Amino acid sequence: MTEQSKHLAITITQIHSTEDNIKNSSNVTSSDSNTANCTKAFSPLTLQGTPPVLAPTLISTETALNSNTDVGSYVGSYVDNDGVVEKGASPKIVLATLNARYFHTSFGLRYLYANLKELQPLCEIQEFIIQTRAIDIVEQILASKPTIVGFGVYIWNIVETTDVVSLLKVIAPEVKVILGGPEVSYETEDQLIVKYSDYVLTGPADISFYELCKNILNNKLPDKKVLKSQPVGLENIALPYEYYTDEDLTHRLLYVEASRGCPFKCEFCLSSLDKTSTPFELTTFLEQMDILYKRGARNFKFIDRTFNLNIKTTMQIMQFFLDRMTDDLYLHFEVVPDHLPRKLKELLTQFPQGSLQFEIGIQTFNVEVQKNISRKQNNAKSKENLLWLRDHTLAHIHADLIFGLPGETFETFKDSFNQLYHCRPHEIQMGILKRLKGSPIIRHTEAFDLRFNPLPPFNILSTDRVSFATMQRINRFARYWDMIGNSERFKYALPHILSDEPFDDFMAITEWIFNKTGQIHKINLKKLFELISQSVEALYPEKHKGVIDKIEQDYKAAKLKSLFSSLNLYAVTHVEQAVKNKSLQRQQRHLS
């Protein structure tokens, strides 16, 4: 059997993009700090990634694998979706999930597939996106005439997956539905989606999914709906990397992990429930990376919670990729900000532009808030390392803050933002605290009067120190900062707009734009350039003349079709005054 024959074949079916089946999903992101922590807590059923642009339904269908395993024992009589008994037919297992974007790949489903042993030839993977109508997803799944369907459930797809599962069980109640993933691993019995399902696997399901499927196919049905997955040593888990397809390698983000778990106890994060971080055997892991690399993979996102925890391992992995450096190689790591030894720093300086991105969780610089959430962080060393990375490496720095933590106030968060801004990361991701089921942050609910949205994404609405109105102001700030600060579309103008107190300056711009437009989404880019100029003219008139030149630089870099001279760069009051002045001049000429 050739190496290529092991990989899944891919078919892409385009779903017609109408208003009925494509919903606005611009607020779906895995960059939000504590949501990302949720996605990385259970890697067997985990999805992460950055937003792509397409909206097809992706169906990955397992091709005829040469297998020495015997599947004949599972051949029998099965009822198809029309109620017709098919004698001699094989059962079918469908692994499915709803990704936030097409660009994402389901790392978790590939883990489950890799560990299905003799059941693997009976299984196929079907990946969809959350913008697709539930009825279209159900139709595609049932076209495979499955006996078992397993769904990966997460904070970003719980609503849509609930719709799919409820519809599927109405149309084909005989199909056994198995749920897994972080969103159904805690507070399980209270969830509507659990009511519609047949079984729920809580915790890492690499092996337990195989065991449950085998029992179902052998008619040995469990007597409980909710089943807790038992711990399994990493050495006993088959790795999933060979099941990334050529399509994945070319067009989608690849997730990899050199370790699982986290030794830290930050209470907003599900990883705080882990006892420690456990590495995969390094030689085997690097062999798998080499196979992916030789197949053409150049985009690797490591989902390790603390990639630089073991510096020796970190350096071996980074040296592995440095030895294979190409112009299109891209590596994404999450690193601990206060742990960059000299040897690692020396290695980092060797990576070229565009090859490294570091996601660095700061969350807060306030010591009391850090104590409330059991977070250990050397703030001085963290800031020193952030500045060193900017000054001595070409890595792209993405730093995270979380608003709404127990004990945080508007003023303390402002101070954290200002300190982080002056560390000059390329991006500051402002996340809003989410209530992740099972996370220890819940213990603070009464003491700090934490009030969470009862609907996904379960974001904080107010605390004893932050009102709902203030929370909304910060939400708008975060959205505009993504559009203006993090997008790098205003990289020339923004440093000239913001002062030594950047939070106050940008909050003023946020409120000016929102008061004028009432919008935080779907702002045309040309209009955004106009709004930035107009807000500066209205709020900081002494800066406006110099800022216009910088805005023009940014506008040219954006390569928009319209001429810069066609933009309305002045606030309405300025235009009205100009009209009045012209009218007065005409009157004076008429009288003379």
Whether pLDDT at 54 is above 60: no
Q: State the pLDDT at residue 10.
A: 36
> How many domains are there within the chain?
3
Tens digits of residue pLDDT in 347-383: 999 999 999 999 999 999 999 999 999 999 999 999 9
Report DSSP letters for 278-324, one per residue: EEPPHHHHHHHHHHHHHTT--EEEE--TTTTSSHHHHHHHHHHHHTT
pLDDT higher than 50, residue 247: yes
- What per-residue confidence (pLDDT) applies to 90? 75
User: pLDDT band at residue 453, thresholds of 50, 70 and 90?
Assistant: very high
pLDDT at position 590: 58
Q: What is the mean pLDDT of the chain?
A: 87
Provide the pLDDT confidence category of residue 42 given band limits of 50, 70 and 90. very low
Higher-scoring residue by pLDDT: 73, 94: 94
CB 486 within 8 A of CB 429: yes
Residues 321, 208 share a domain: no
Give strand pairing partners of 140: none
Token pair, residue 572, equals: 């309405």
- Does residue 475 lie within any of the structural domains? no
Classify residue 12: in a domain, yes or no. Answer: yes
Provide the pLDDT for residue 23: 36
In this prediction, residues 49-64 reach a mean pLDDT of: 34
| pLDDT-wise least confident of 84-93, 368-377, 447-456, 501-510 | 84-93
Question: What's the DSSP call for residue 178?
Answer: E
Domain extent for 421: 257-466
Q: Are residues 336 and 368 both part of a single domain?
A: yes
Question: Are residues 200 and 282 both part of a single domain?
Answer: no
Name the token pair of 50.
Answer: 């950055």
The verdict on residue 476 lying in a domain is no
Asked whether residue 412 carries a pLDDT value surpassing 90, the answer given is: yes
Q: How far, in Å, CA of 433 to CA of 451, rounded?
A: 11
| CATH number of the domain bearing residue 102 | 3.40.50.280
| 352 lies in the same domain as 498 | no
pLDDT of residue 22: 36
Whether residue 36 has pLDDT greater than 60: no
Residue 155 has pLDDT above 80, yes or no: yes
Q: Give the DSSP H or E segment for 93.
A: strand 93-99
- Quick one: 280 and 222 in the same domain? no
Pair 209, 288 in one domain: no
- Residue 332 maps to which CATH number? 3.80.30.20
Model confidence at 71, pLDDT cuts 50, 70, 90, reads low
Q: Tell me which of 264-273, 326-335, 583-592 is least confident.
A: 583-592
The answer to whether residue 445 is domain-embedded is yes
587 domain residue, yes or no: yes
Q: Is the pLDDT of residue 27 over 50?
A: no
Residues 403, 537 within the same domain: no
Residue 502 and residue 434 share a domain: no
Helix axes 468-481, 502-517, angle to 10 degrees: 100
| pLDDT tens, residue by residue, 164-213 | 999 999 999 999 999 999 999 999 999 999 999 999 999 999 999 999 99
Answer whether 0.75 is exceeded by the pTM: yes
pLDDT beyond 80 at 587: no
Domain assignment present for residue 8? The answer is yes
**99 and 68, same structural domain?**
yes
Q: Does residue 482 sit within a domain? A: no
Query: 100, 160 in Cβ contact below 8 A?
Result: no
pLDDT at 439: 96
Residue 592 pLDDT: 52
- The pLDDT value recorded for residue 585 is 61
Q: Is residue 74 part of a domain?
A: yes
Mean pLDDT in residue range 410-427: 98
Same domain, 221 and 293: no
Both 220 and 341 in a single domain? no
> Could you give the C-alpha distances from 302 to 31, 224, 260, 334, 535, in angstroms and in order?
14, 36, 11, 7, 40
Residue 123 in contact with residue 116, Cβ under 8 Å? yes
> Same domain, yes or no, for 19 and 140?
yes
